[in-house]
Amino acid sequence: MTHIKRISELQVVIGHEVTLNGWLYKNRPSGKVQFLMLRDGSGLCQCVIEKDKLPEDLFGQIKHLGQESSLSITGLVRQEPRSPGGVELAVTAVEIHTPAVDYPITPKEHGVDFLLKNRHLHLRSQKPWCIGRIRHTVIDAIRRFFNDNGFTLIDTPIFTTIAGEGEQTLFEVDYFGQPLHLTQTGQLYLESAAMSFGKVYCFGPTFRAEKSKTRRHLTEFWMVEPEVAYIDLPGLLDLAEEFVFSIVQRVLKDNHDELETLGADIAALEATQTPFVRLSYSEVVDILTSDRTQKFMAAQLEQFQGQKRMMEQELAQIEAADAKGGLKKWQQEKNARRLQKIRSELVELQVKIDNNPKHARLAADFCWGKDLGGSDETIISLMHARPVFVTHYPKAAKAFYMKADTEDDRVVENFDLLAPAGFGEIIGGSVREDDYEKLLARIDEEGYNPDSYQWYLDLRKYGSVPHGGFGLGVERTVAWITGEKHIRQCIAFPRLMDKVYL
């Protein structure tokens, strides 16, 4: 009796005959034996076909199958260390569903633009698949954490009537003639829910119309936002710390293989232990403008230039060897591939070398009162091996609803969490202003219409309590954990500024 199995289940059915339903990832015919790499969505498995085990015409047909042809393969499961999952299938029967011809994405390298234009197909490749699995774990860990800690899920609206932090960054939609906006945060709605349930969270897509074309920005991304009644800033930091730690632990436990395939820095993730670093904004300003930062940047520049020299040396050596001649064909080809790789790495390195002095200058010239720029966050996070909390930003640089610090009225009780190794901000959060008069004054100062905020002000009228929360960007978190440079790889169908592919 043959059972249909998924590749991820094969370890427990060694010695049995099973059927796998999947797609051809790679075919290596070799005379009288063929190695089919099959993927079925749960993993990869090598299937070995010996010529005399199948009808001759079927064996020939399989030999000419293109990548991504859909197949059902039946065979005996046996241990084989040379196969990706440690087991392989000794094939006894093959059913071809749909042969594929000229699949555009090959196991070789492709450019960013090409892959995004073919995102619907690229999703089948190893790298997007691994990232997708890790994203799934991250989201599951997020829900588990809040559900297990007494939080109630509240689904806040996508169409919103009021802005969280300034209206110029919102997408406007025509709602039966009335202008509404796509949500950029569920926070204001969540605050009212917190007064009902105590501890709540929302989780969904969020939209920003900012003209930001960087590796950290999407116009549509997913954000989870907890909001808690009766909490202060230290309480929020503890919550965020425990929360992020739990996500990292879950990914390490559930997705070790995927992290390895992606080449993620597993040791660095394991080193992400609590407590995280805690700095105030003012301390960060001191660090940025200090000699220590200038030395740090200079050391980094020196390191980049050292790498550049080494690469240029290798380049020259290879070119000299080529010019000398007498190389075998395979050596020439190997050299050509290496040259190509070095050249593209040199371009990337040169950008870092060019940017270093600019970023060093931005840091040195930083004045108290400005919001931290992307490069400033990068510098601070590069200087620390653990995530860094930055607290107490200047009031003027932050949103109207943040509570002023009781000791220093110039700053608010807020925090950002910077992921280590230069990834930058993954969380922004704050204690909310809970005093009716102070909040009304801030709304006036920002020039907003108080009528629009009537219901929000009501929360301060009826049993107001200290409360606060934060938002964590899912794609940024996934990018940090997986080691991806650009967050567009961390969502299935990314929406970029001025660019929607599919």
- What is the distance between the alpha carbons of residues 54 and 285, in angstroms, rounded to a whole number? 71
Residue 220 or 286: which CB sits closer to RNA? Answer: 220
Q: Contacting RNA (CB under 7 A), which of 67, 255, 261, 356?
A: 67
Residues 77-96 that bind RNA (CB under 7 A): 80, 82-84, 88, 90
Strands 199-207 and 220-229: antiparallel
In angstroms, what is the minimal distance from the CB of 462 to RNA? 28
Residue 252 or 349: which CB sits closer to RNA? Answer: 349
78 exposed, middle or buried (CB, 10 Å; 0-12, 13-18, 19+)? Answer: middle
Confirm or reject binding of residue 210 to RNA (CB under 7 A): yes
Confirm or reject binding of residue 169 to RNA (CB under 7 A): yes
Residue 193 or 419: which CB sits closer to RNA? Answer: 419
Q: Contacting RNA (CB under 7 A), which of 3, 4, 113, 449?
A: 113
Site string for RNA, 463-482 (x = CB under 7 A): --------x-x-xx------
In angstroms, what is the minimal distance from the CB of 85 to RNA? 11
Q: Contacting RNA (CB under 7 A), which of 214, 273, 331, 452?
A: 214
Residues 234-263 that bind RNA (CB under 7 A): none
Strand positions, DSSP E, 208-276 = 220-229
Q: What does DSSP assign to residue 403? A: P
Strand positions, DSSP E, 267-358 = 277-280
Closest CA to 140 of 251, 32, 220, 303: 251
Q: Contacting RNA (CB under 7 A), which of 158, 252, 362, 382?
A: 362
Q: Contacting RNA (CB under 7 A), which of 337, 445, 454, 455?
A: 337
Q: Contacting RNA (CB under 7 A), which of 56, 102, 148, 451?
A: 102
Strands 17-30 and 3-5: parallel
The answer to whether the CB of 156 falls within 8 A of the CB of 204 is yes
Please give the single-letter amino acid code of residue 292. Answer: R
Q: Contacting RNA (CB under 7 A), which of 3, 144, 213, 361?
A: 213
452: Cβ–Cβ under 8 A, 6 or more apart, which residues?
A: 161, 162
In angstroms, what is the minimal distance from the CB of 107 to RNA? 5
Residue 252 or 421: which CB sits closer to RNA? Answer: 421
The span of 12-20, 175-183, 248-256, 344-352 binding RNA (CB under 7 A) equals 344-352
Strands 199-207 and 178-182: unpaired
In angstroms, what is the minimal distance from the CB of 372 to RNA? 8
Please give the single-letter amino acid code of residue 470. Answer: F
Confirm or reject binding of residue 458 to RNA (CB under 7 A): no
Confirm or reject binding of residue 292 to RNA (CB under 7 A): no
Confirm or reject binding of residue 101 to RNA (CB under 7 A): yes
- What is the distance between the alpha carbons of residues 493 and 381, in angstroms, rounded to a whole number? 28
H-assigned helices in 263-290: 266-270, 281-288
The alpha carbons of the chain give a radius of gyration, in whole angstroms, of: 27
Residue 229 or 468: which CB sits closer to RNA? Answer: 468
Q: How many residues interact with RNA (rule CB under 7 A)?
A: 80
In angstroms, what is the minimal distance from the CB of 83 to RNA? 6
187 exposed, middle or buried (CB, 10 Å; 0-12, 13-18, 19+)? Answer: buried
404 exposed, middle or buried (CB, 10 Å; 0-12, 13-18, 19+)? Answer: middle
Confirm or reject binding of residue 112 to RNA (CB under 7 A): yes
Structure tokens that stand for 381 in this block = 């996070």
Residue 252 or 342: which CB sits closer to RNA? Answer: 342
Strand positions, DSSP E, 265-401 = 277-280, 388-391
Q: Contacting RNA (CB under 7 A), which of 15, 111, 177, 463?
A: 111
- What is the distance between the alpha carbons of residues 46 and 35, in angstroms, rounded to a whole number? 6
Residue 142 or 229: which CB sits closer to RNA? Answer: 142
Residue 270 or 314: which CB sits closer to RNA? Answer: 314
Residues 16-45 that bind RNA (CB under 7 A): 26, 28-33, 35
Sequential DSSP letters for 166-207: -GGGS-EEEETTEEEEE-S-SHHHHHHHHHHHSEEEEEEEEE
In angstroms, what is the minimal distance from the CB of 253 to RNA? 26
Residues 366-395 that bind RNA (CB under 7 A): 371, 373-375
Strands 424-431 and 467-473: antiparallel
Confirm or reject binding of residue 500 to RNA (CB under 7 A): no
Residue 229 or 491: which CB sits closer to RNA? Answer: 491
